[in-house]
Amino acid sequence: MHQNTAARAAPQLVSLQALRFIAAGMVVYVHALATYADKVAPISGTLTPAALGEFGVKLFFCISGYIIYLSSGQLRAGTATALDFMQRRLTRIVPLYWTATLLYALKLAAQGDPPVLLDIVRSLLFLPYADENGLMRPVLGVGWSLNYEMMFYLLFAGTLLLRPGRRPAVLGAALAVLLFFRYTFPPGDAAGALHVGLYLLGDHYLLYFLAGLAIAWLQKDGRLYRHLPQFSPRTTILALLGLISLYCIPVMLTSMPRMLMEALMAVICIVCLLLCTLERQGTHESPTLAVRLLKLGGDASYCTYLTHGFVMGPCARLIDLLGHETGPLPFAFSMLVLCSTTGILFYCLFEKPLLRKVAAWLRPPTVQAQP
């Protein structure tokens, strides 16, 4: 069988796209509340559940691990395969991220607070560095998660030099080494940039990539899935919303211990992704308008994630200037609608045409898949 290193594309599961849309929405919601508190008026701490945004990012990482392994895990080993994989990932991630980062740097400069050139370079190259609070914070704040993504891509590309059967174990071992390094060798005051970077990247977020990879491996193996039911896209999405509510409602309404919250987050992330993989393929069920919008929102979730800060900041400043406090929750929900709409428009009018042009310019080579 012959095909390029894109391999068989991961199935276009409507529920998986909906899960992306929901994950982006949770990040937007939390950032909208934080923006309101920063630029309009202080709000109650119970209304700023930062763990919802963290949950959304972890869902993204689970989905990323799943799709990367499902679409590329069985490719023939070789340098050409690894290089082509990285080219495709860079083509997908870099153009929009660089555009958003440079625009944000210009915005900061116009406000009289230009980022230093070194920080811009490190941000564009996905090199993690710590801010004054010891946190990983590139020029475009949300870019911290892309540092994890790029590190995962590099590690996965390295495993493409090996036979397919060895890749999951080697990748898991590499992630385990990073985790061990973080919790064994915390950086001191004199720590170098490499030490700090490895420490920042060795976070427990890595386990969510591994969880997604494990689910893809189970699906490829097929034995477990023979005994599991399948569901229509509509049913799957409703079940996802119910599962996510099991996490969101307690987090927003109660003061949950951190360890319990982490455990619940991990379980719900994994179960949500597993549920998406049980979506029935080839159904002739006519998608509703809501399902089509959720799918489009998932397609545009990367745009929404990178651009929402450009939307909600000016909106909050406008509210402050007008002296009309809408209230934090109305602001957050209006930002969900506005930022999602902006993300979809940006995806249709800018990202898709840009990616087509970049892909045509690069013209990736073709290699054989593993028979």
At 259 the pLDDT is: 85
At 75 the pLDDT is: 84
pTM (global) more than 0.85: yes
At 242 the pLDDT is: 92
| Domain parsing of the chain, residue ranges | 14-362
Tokens 């395969």 sit on residue: 81
Residue 371 has pLDDT above 60, yes or no: no
Residue 154 has pLDDT above 60, yes or no: yes
- The residue-averaged pLDDT of 105-113 equals 91
- Distance separating alpha carbons of residues 250 and 106, to the nearest angstrom: 40
- The residue-averaged pLDDT of 1-28 equals 72
Residue 96 has pLDDT above 70, yes or no: yes
- pLDDT top residue among 362 and 237: 237
pLDDT tens digit string along 297-317? 999 999 999 999 999 989 988
